Homo-oligomer: A and B are copies of this chain.
Amino acid sequence: MSVKIAKFSGFCFGVKRAIKISIEAAMKNHEIITLGPVIHNPQMVEKLAQKGIKSISDYSEIKGRPTIIRSHGVEKGIMAKLQRDNIEIINATCPYVSKTQEYALQLSQEGYQVIILGDKTHPEVIALKSYVEGKAIIVAESFDLPEGKFNKVGIISQTTRRVEDLQDLVKILVPRCEELRVINTICNATSVRQDSTIKLAKDSDLMIVIGGKNSSNTKMLARISDNFVKTFHIETSSEIDKKWLQNKDKIGITAGASTPDWIIVEVYNEILKCVGQIEKLVSEVEDIPGFKEEKNG
């Protein structure tokens, strides 16, 4: 039996950066808070809490303390309020997300009806739409589009969507607009993780996708993988059920962009223990067959 990991999996550039910024800020400050979890991984957020980084959900709880802006960004109005209230801002917004916010503002200022491909309940999208002047249309897929024709449409995407969904949306909109401007804001880390997952899923009997249940990019990896082979989405090794592994010859593992290495290692080792291959346990993610992280952001 083989257990392989997708070549591109785990932390992306934006998540690594957000954690680094957060920890550095925590070292300088006694009390520090984040408006919502810095990243969508409960286990990593718990580790950050142990370093004094407290996640709150309401602005009123800030009470003058230095505030980390989560990797997903925050609404334009909240940013302005923080500045007005002289709160020290530690901006851990992923630079690709910030760039998408700039495009949202620019497109709407240039007279485009902005359409966002994304999940309207996700913090990245909630923040993103606040940068649109006028009313943004948010669609999770092309079926959500309102009826009718448009003059000038500008499309941006939540950074973690599937490019196929963006393609479908654009295809449907072409005959319905005079002008269509598409900024492909799906980040490279998302694309390479998805491609890598598909490649591994095609060659596996079972896929384990590791990451926060609230992580958009992880959920998307699980959805994509499940198109090819039976797939389980777990947060930690404790969720693995021995039965899943019965009669499986090739097991594939992938992990979302916010999943820390130590959890990947734990899951890998747990699978090996379940199937009795204890002599192959690893201590570093780099030792898992297939894993070779490249500087892909």
Binding site for B on A (CB under 8 A): 163, 166-168, 170-171, 174-175, 177-184, 191
Contact = CB atoms under 8 A, between A and B. Distances in A.
Contacts of A175: 163, 166-167, 184, 191
8 contacts: A166-B175, A170-B182, A171-B171, A174-B182, A177-B182, A179-B182, A181-B182, A182-B182
B177 A180 contact: no
Contact of A181 (B171, B181, B191): B181
Contacts of A163: 174-175
Most chain B CB atoms below 10 A, which of A167, A171, A178, A179: A171
A174 B183 CA distance: 9
Contacts of A168: 171
The 6 closest A-B pairs by CB, nearest first: A180-B182, A171-B171, A181-B181, A163-B175, A167-B174, A167-B171
A296 to B, nearest CB: 15
Nearest to A177: B184
Most chain B CB atoms below 10 A, which of A175, A178, A191: A175
Contacts of A177: 182, 184
A166 B180 CA distance: 12
Contact of A174 (B170, B178, B179): B170
A182 B175 CA distance: 11
Nearest to A183: B179
Contacts of A166: 174-175
Contacts of A174: 163, 166-167, 170, 182, 184
Nearest to A166: B174
A132 to B, nearest CB: 17
Given A163-B174, A181-B181, A182-B182, 13 more contacts: A163-B175, A170-B170, A170-B171, A170-B174, A170-B182, A174-B182, A174-B184, A175-B184, A178-B183, A178-B184, A179-B183, A179-B184, A180-B181
A142 to B, nearest CB: 11
A184 B177 CA distance: 7
A105 B178 CA distance: 17
Contacts of A184: 174-175, 177-180
A153 to B, nearest CB: 9
